[in-house]
Structure 1
């Protein structure tokens, strides 16, 4: 996010831990140090709500080439 450094990010995480997940992007303006201008500047970069970790497919193993029989 633009204009959100480590301290503001920590404030967002602390607020979320205390109050639960944000339901709307506008709710981020309730965090100390995050104003409506910051929310509007970053609106397209943000998502809110309870999220689960993305599932990652295990890496594909290379299949060895068949060995020609003699």
Structure 2
């Protein structure tokens, strides 16, 4: 028999898509509220720079861990 249980990644994806569709529907119904929420968001450039900075930090941390593991083994 096949298992009907879904993996955790699938559950996260389904929740993300459901929230995204709900957000799109709410924005379509209430554009004034969407403008208020959009005004609280940072600029796209700030988000991009923050993403690159956090990605760089994660890369160097993982590199540091990998170097320590390879030296120990």
Task: State the TM-score, normalized to the length of structure 2.
Answer: 0.27
Higher normalized helix content (fraction of residues): 2
Query: Higher relative contact order by CA 8 Å / sep ≥ 6: 1 or 2?
Result: 1
Larger radius of gyration, structure 1 or 2?
1
